[in-house]
């Protein structure tokens, strides 16, 4: 039986963000791609983790390697805290175990209010370009447009719920420290969403770790530098 690999998408995206990885990874692994972009009843990272747990149980797996992009990394850490024996490996893909600063929490609250007042499309149009490195945005406008087009369809209530869940998540560095499995970090030096300094400072917290620091990448390595990211993920999975 193939090992299960769970790929968790970030905020303002859905499971299709992993489309470039699926054809390659599914040759050797059973992929589970939970999709919570349109769900508004999940109010905390623990709620999201329980949702992911249900999806894994539905497929009949007792453990898995779980990789989360951005908010998906927050979900993965909550999952590892609640279901530690199920985690055979954990990947933080442009994500962090740190809680939000007070300033970031205030910004999240304002964003949630903006989304509910003005709708999804306006928020996605203004926020999406910031997910990518400036050079990538300049040379790949069609990629940004595609991202905006599909993400603008997400319900405002679901986006607002996700935003507030991110705001309220606790610091989970202790979860990283307690893990006895391999932990992967992928970090973009031009990331405007997760501080590269914070991301790098957590690398040595877990006992077993591997990291890839991408000099010209923002927050979307699976799209900005897909080949390098896929290669690194592949090596990580072999260690798990």
- One digit per residue, the tens of pLDDT, for the chain of length 240 reads 899 999 999 999 999 999 999 999 999 999 999 999 999 999 999 999 999 999 999 999 999 999 999 999 999 999 999 999 999 999 999 999 999 999 999 999 999 999 999 999 999 999 999 999 999 999 999 999 999 999 999 999 999 999 999 999 999 999 999 999 999 999 999 999 999 999 999 999 999 999 999 999 999 999 999 999 999 999 999 999
Quick one: CA torsion of 33, 153, 39, 168, rounded to 10 degrees? Answer: 100
Provide the pLDDT for residue 1. 84
Q: How many CB atoms lie within 10 A of CB 199?
A: 24
Provide the pLDDT for residue 214. 98
Residues 209, 215, 219, 220, CA torsion sign:
negative
* CB-CB contact of 188 with 10 (8 Å): no
Which of 109, 104, 75 has its CA nearest to residue 92? 75
């Amino acid at each position: 039986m193939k090992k299960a690999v769970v790929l968790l998408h970030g905020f303002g995206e859905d499971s299709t963000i992993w489309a470039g990885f699926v054809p390659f990874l599914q040759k050797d692994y059973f992929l589970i791609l939970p999709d919570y972009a349109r769900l508004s009843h999940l109010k905390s990272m623990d709620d999201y983790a329980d949702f992911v747990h249900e999806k894994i149980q539905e497929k009949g797996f007792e453990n898995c390697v779980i990789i989360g992009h951005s908010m998906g990394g927050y979900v993965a850490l909550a999952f590892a805290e609640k279901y530690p024996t199920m985690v055979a490996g954990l990947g933080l893909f442009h994500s962090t175990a740190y809680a939000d600063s007070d300033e970031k929490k205030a910004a999240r609250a304002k964003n949630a209010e903006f989304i509910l007042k003005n709708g999804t499309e306006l928020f996605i149009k203004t926020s999406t370009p910031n997910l990518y490195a400036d050079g990538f945005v300049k040379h790949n406008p069609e990629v940004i447009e595609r991202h905006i087009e599909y993400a603008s369809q997400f319900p405002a209530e679901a986006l607002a719920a996700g935003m507030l869940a991110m705001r309220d998540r606790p610091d989970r560095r202790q979860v990283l420290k307690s893990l006895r499995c391999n932990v992967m970090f992928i970090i973009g030096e031009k990331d405007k969403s997760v501080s590269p300094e914070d991301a790098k400072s957590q690398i040595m917290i877990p006992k077993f770790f591997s990291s890839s620091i991408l000099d010209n990448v923002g927050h979307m390595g699976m799209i900005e530098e897909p080949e390098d990211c896929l290669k690194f993920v592949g090596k990580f999975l072999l260690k798990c």
